[in-house]
Amino acid sequence: MAKLIFIGPQGSGKGTQAKIISKELNIPHISTGDMLRSAEGELKEKVDEVINSGKLIDDDLMLSILKERLNNPDTKKGFILDGYPRNLEQKNMLDTITQIDKTIEINISDEEALKRLSGRVNCEKCKANYNLQTAPKPKDPTKCDVCNGKLIQRDDDKPEAIKKRLITYHEETEPIIQEYKNSGIIITINGEQDINKISDDILKILK
Protein backbone atom coordinates (compact mmCIF):
# COMPACT_ATOMS: atom_id res chain seq x y z
CA MET A 1 0.00 0.00 0.00
CA ALA A 2 1.36 3.40 -1.00
CA LYS A 3 -0.81 6.40 -0.15
CA LEU A 4 1.30 9.31 -1.34
CA ILE A 5 1.18 13.10 -1.62
CA PHE A 6 3.39 14.99 -4.06
CA ILE A 7 3.93 18.55 -2.93
CA GLY A 8 6.00 21.46 -4.20
CA PRO A 9 5.75 24.99 -5.61
CA GLN A 10 4.40 25.77 -9.05
CA GLY A 11 7.02 24.84 -11.65
CA SER A 12 8.60 22.14 -9.46
CA GLY A 13 7.53 19.37 -11.84
CA LYS A 14 5.48 17.53 -9.22
CA GLY A 15 2.73 16.74 -11.75
CA THR A 16 5.27 15.29 -14.20
CA GLN A 17 6.86 13.18 -11.45
CA ALA A 18 3.47 12.05 -10.15
CA LYS A 19 2.62 10.71 -13.63
CA ILE A 20 5.96 8.88 -13.92
CA ILE A 21 5.77 7.30 -10.44
CA SER A 22 2.09 6.46 -10.93
CA LYS A 23 3.02 4.28 -13.93
CA GLU A 24 5.99 2.70 -12.15
CA LEU A 25 3.97 1.74 -9.07
CA ASN A 26 0.73 1.07 -10.98
CA ILE A 27 -1.35 3.34 -8.74
CA PRO A 28 -3.59 6.23 -9.86
CA HIS A 29 -2.33 9.80 -10.14
CA ILE A 30 -5.13 11.96 -8.71
CA SER A 31 -4.93 15.69 -9.40
CA THR A 32 -7.48 18.25 -8.22
CA GLY A 33 -8.29 19.12 -11.84
CA ASP A 34 -8.97 15.48 -12.72
CA MET A 35 -11.17 15.07 -9.64
CA LEU A 36 -13.31 18.07 -10.55
CA ARG A 37 -13.68 16.87 -14.14
CA SER A 38 -14.60 13.31 -13.10
CA ALA A 39 -17.18 14.23 -10.44
CA GLU A 40 -20.53 12.54 -11.08
CA GLY A 41 -24.20 12.92 -10.19
CA GLU A 42 -25.07 15.37 -7.43
CA LEU A 43 -21.40 16.32 -6.86
CA LYS A 44 -20.96 17.18 -10.55
CA GLU A 45 -24.01 19.44 -10.38
CA LYS A 46 -22.54 21.24 -7.35
CA VAL A 47 -19.14 21.62 -9.05
CA ASP A 48 -20.71 23.00 -12.25
CA GLU A 49 -22.81 25.43 -10.24
CA VAL A 50 -19.79 26.80 -8.35
CA ILE A 51 -17.56 27.03 -11.44
CA ASN A 52 -20.27 28.69 -13.54
CA SER A 53 -20.78 31.29 -10.81
CA GLY A 54 -17.07 32.16 -10.93
CA LYS A 55 -16.47 31.09 -7.32
CA LEU A 56 -13.79 28.78 -5.90
CA ILE A 57 -14.53 25.21 -4.84
CA ASP A 58 -14.85 25.21 -1.05
CA ASP A 59 -12.97 22.74 1.16
CA ASP A 60 -16.06 20.70 2.14
CA LEU A 61 -17.06 20.10 -1.48
CA MET A 62 -13.47 19.25 -2.45
CA LEU A 63 -13.28 16.72 0.39
CA SER A 64 -16.55 15.09 -0.73
CA ILE A 65 -15.21 14.75 -4.28
CA LEU A 66 -11.91 13.31 -3.00
CA LYS A 67 -13.69 10.85 -0.71
CA GLU A 68 -15.76 9.60 -3.67
CA ARG A 69 -12.60 9.26 -5.81
CA LEU A 70 -10.70 7.34 -3.12
CA ASN A 71 -13.57 4.85 -2.92
CA ASN A 72 -12.86 3.71 -6.48
CA PRO A 73 -11.42 0.16 -6.76
CA ASP A 74 -8.23 1.40 -8.49
CA THR A 75 -7.03 2.98 -5.22
CA LYS A 76 -6.82 -0.34 -3.34
CA LYS A 77 -3.02 -0.54 -3.79
CA GLY A 78 -2.58 3.18 -3.13
CA PHE A 79 -2.67 6.52 -4.93
CA ILE A 80 -0.76 9.75 -5.54
CA LEU A 81 -2.42 13.04 -4.61
CA ASP A 82 -1.18 16.01 -6.64
CA GLY A 83 -2.36 19.53 -5.76
CA TYR A 84 -4.14 18.54 -2.55
CA PRO A 85 -3.96 19.44 0.30
CA ARG A 86 -3.02 23.11 -0.27
CA ASN A 87 -3.40 24.38 3.30
CA LEU A 88 -3.50 23.11 6.89
CA GLU A 89 -7.29 23.02 7.01
CA GLN A 90 -7.40 20.74 3.95
CA LYS A 91 -4.63 18.58 5.45
CA ASN A 92 -6.61 18.15 8.68
CA MET A 93 -9.74 17.29 6.68
CA LEU A 94 -7.79 14.74 4.62
CA ASP A 95 -6.62 13.08 7.85
CA THR A 96 -10.27 12.30 8.68
CA ILE A 97 -10.76 10.12 5.56
CA THR A 98 -7.39 8.43 4.96
CA GLN A 99 -3.89 7.93 6.38
CA ILE A 100 -1.00 9.11 4.18
CA ASP A 101 2.09 6.87 4.09
CA LYS A 102 4.63 9.25 2.55
CA THR A 103 4.76 12.84 1.32
CA ILE A 104 7.25 13.65 -1.43
CA GLU A 105 8.34 17.29 -1.41
CA ILE A 106 9.90 18.37 -4.71
CA ASN A 107 11.87 21.43 -3.74
CA ILE A 108 13.05 24.22 -6.06
CA SER A 109 14.09 27.81 -5.36
CA ASP A 110 11.77 30.73 -6.10
CA GLU A 111 14.29 31.87 -8.73
CA GLU A 112 14.07 28.51 -10.53
CA ALA A 113 10.27 28.51 -10.32
CA LEU A 114 10.16 32.01 -11.78
CA LYS A 115 12.51 31.00 -14.61
CA ARG A 116 10.52 27.89 -15.48
CA LEU A 117 7.05 29.41 -15.24
CA SER A 118 7.82 32.71 -16.97
CA GLY A 119 9.03 30.71 -19.98
CA ARG A 120 5.69 28.95 -20.49
CA VAL A 121 3.80 29.80 -23.68
CA ASN A 122 0.77 28.27 -25.39
CA CYS A 123 -0.41 28.14 -28.98
CA GLU A 124 -3.33 30.46 -29.55
CA LYS A 125 -4.88 27.99 -32.05
CA CYS A 126 -4.23 24.38 -30.96
CA LYS A 127 -3.32 25.09 -27.27
CA ALA A 128 -0.01 23.15 -27.50
CA ASN A 129 2.32 23.92 -24.55
CA TYR A 130 5.96 25.03 -24.80
CA ASN A 131 8.62 26.51 -22.56
CA LEU A 132 11.09 29.06 -23.90
CA GLN A 133 13.44 28.50 -20.92
CA THR A 134 13.37 24.74 -20.37
CA ALA A 135 11.51 22.14 -22.46
CA PRO A 136 9.76 21.50 -24.75
CA LYS A 137 11.17 24.48 -26.64
CA PRO A 138 9.49 25.51 -29.91
CA LYS A 139 11.68 25.66 -33.02
CA ASP A 140 10.58 29.28 -33.47
CA PRO A 141 9.86 31.24 -30.22
CA THR A 142 6.92 32.99 -31.90
CA LYS A 143 5.24 30.08 -33.73
CA CYS A 144 3.74 26.70 -32.87
CA ASP A 145 5.62 23.63 -34.22
CA VAL A 146 2.30 21.84 -34.80
CA CYS A 147 0.08 24.39 -36.57
CA ASN A 148 2.20 27.57 -36.97
CA GLY A 149 -0.22 29.39 -34.65
CA LYS A 150 0.95 32.38 -32.60
CA LEU A 151 2.54 31.57 -29.22
CA ILE A 152 1.16 33.61 -26.33
CA GLN A 153 1.81 33.85 -22.59
CA ARG A 154 -1.07 33.55 -20.13
CA ASP A 155 -1.48 36.38 -17.64
CA ASP A 156 -0.89 34.02 -14.71
CA ASP A 157 2.50 33.01 -16.16
CA LYS A 158 3.79 36.59 -16.12
CA PRO A 159 6.44 37.37 -13.43
CA GLU A 160 4.23 39.44 -11.08
CA ALA A 161 1.48 36.80 -11.07
CA ILE A 162 4.03 34.03 -10.46
CA LYS A 163 5.52 35.92 -7.50
CA LYS A 164 2.04 36.22 -5.93
CA ARG A 165 1.42 32.48 -6.37
CA LEU A 166 4.76 31.67 -4.75
CA ILE A 167 3.94 33.92 -1.77
CA THR A 168 0.64 32.03 -1.38
CA TYR A 169 2.54 28.72 -1.53
CA HIS A 170 4.98 29.80 1.19
CA GLU A 171 2.20 31.12 3.43
CA GLU A 172 -0.39 28.34 2.99
CA THR A 173 1.37 25.17 1.85
CA GLU A 174 4.73 25.25 3.65
CA PRO A 175 3.04 24.82 7.08
CA ILE A 176 1.74 21.45 5.77
CA ILE A 177 5.32 20.42 4.97
CA GLN A 178 6.32 21.23 8.54
CA GLU A 179 3.43 19.11 9.88
CA TYR A 180 4.53 16.12 7.78
CA LYS A 181 8.13 16.66 8.93
CA ASN A 182 6.91 16.53 12.52
CA SER A 183 5.16 13.24 11.70
CA GLY A 184 8.32 11.84 10.06
CA ILE A 185 6.63 10.94 6.78
CA ILE A 186 8.09 13.53 4.40
CA ILE A 187 10.97 13.07 1.96
CA THR A 188 12.52 16.15 0.31
CA ILE A 189 13.88 15.75 -3.22
CA ASN A 190 16.03 18.26 -5.12
CA GLY A 191 13.71 19.31 -7.96
CA GLU A 192 16.46 21.16 -9.85
CA GLN A 193 18.00 17.91 -11.10
CA ASP A 194 17.36 16.09 -14.38
CA ILE A 195 13.79 14.69 -14.62
CA ASN A 196 15.02 11.07 -14.73
CA LYS A 197 17.32 11.58 -11.74
CA ILE A 198 14.40 12.96 -9.71
CA SER A 199 12.27 9.91 -10.63
CA ASP A 200 15.11 7.56 -9.70
CA ASP A 201 15.57 9.28 -6.32
CA ILE A 202 11.85 8.99 -5.55
CA LEU A 203 11.64 5.32 -6.59
CA LYS A 204 14.70 4.39 -4.49
CA ILE A 205 12.96 5.82 -1.42
CA LEU A 206 9.59 4.20 -2.14
CA LYS A 207 10.91 0.76 -3.12
Q: Which domains does the chain have, with CATH numbers?
A: 2-206 (3.40.50.300)
* Neighbouring C-alpha atoms within 13 Å toward the C-beta of 151: 19
Residues 6 or more apart whose CB falls under 8 angstroms from that of 105 comprise 7, 8, 177, 180, 186, 187, 188, 189
pLDDT band, very low/low/confident/very high, at 54 (cuts 50, 70, 90): confident
Cα(61)–Cα(70) distance, integer angstroms: 14
Which residues carry out catalysis?
Answer: 14, 86, 120, 154, 165
Cα(185)–Cα(179) distance, integer angstroms: 9
Angle at 17 between CA 15 and CA 19, to 5 degrees: 70
Q: Are strands 2-7 and 120-123 parallel, antiparallel or unpaired?
A: unpaired
For residues 24-51, average pLDDT: 89
pLDDT of residue 34: 84
Is the distance from CB of 198 to CB of 189 less than 8 angstroms?
Answer: yes
3-state secondary structure at position 29: strand
pLDDT of residue 99: 96
DSSP 50-111: HHHTTPPPPHHHHHHHHHHHHTSGGGTTEEEEES---SHHHHHHHHTT----EEEEEE--HH
Q: What are the tens digits of pLDDT across the range 123-159?
A: 999 999 999 988 889 999 999 999 999 999 988 888 9
